[in-house]
A = this chain, B = another copy of it.
């Protein structure tokens, strides 16, 4: 089993408020706590994790564009919870298409079970998979799925 590089985990708009707003819906866990859990899981899977959050569509495009898959230190995969931009951002979709790094779409809730306008995902079309509905666990499960995918060396179609 070959060594896998760093995983970049990007969380989008309003996710900085996790645990502070609407705990009845989203739970009391903050994004920092989710990141901590994710790091633990990453260690057990023998990969490094780099977890960030931004409310800016352009910053997400920057981060994906700047990620490089070259070298031991390079970025091997992406976890992306684009939140509201999932449904509206063609720019992030194009960024994902322009990179050869595989990406998994992550959601805390299950968007397909919500409002009609949350059922369209621009981003899905450029992702290898989706994990949705498990709160903070969605990140952990997506990480495991991504790492296993990378270990199989499956070519990205």
Residues of A within 8 A of B (CB): 12-14, 16-17, 21-22, 54-59, 61-62, 65, 83-85, 87-91, 93-95, 97-100, 104, 110, 112-113, 117-121, 124-134, 137-138, 141, 144-145, 148-149
Using A55-B62, A88-B89 as known contacts, say yes or no to A130 and B112 having CB atoms under 8 A apart. Answer: yes
Q: How far is the CB of A153 from chain B (nearest CB, A)?
A: 13
Q: Which residue of B lies closest to A110 (CB)?
A: B129
Task: Give CA–CA (A57, B54) in the complex, Å.
Answer: 12
Contact of A91 among B84, B120, B145 (CB under 8 A): B84
CA distance A70 to B88 in the complex (A): 32
**A110/B98 contact (C-beta < 8 A), A55-B65, A65-B55, A120-B119 known:** no
Contact indicator B127/A130 (Cβ below 8 Å): no
Taking a contact as CB atoms under 8 Å apart, the answer to whether B14 and A91 are in contact is yes
Asked if B61 contacts A58 (CB within 8 A), the reply is: no
Least CB separation from A68: chain B residue = B20
Across-interface contacts of A94 in B (CB, < 8 A): 13-14, 83-84
List chain B residues, Cβ under 8 A from A124. 110, 112-113
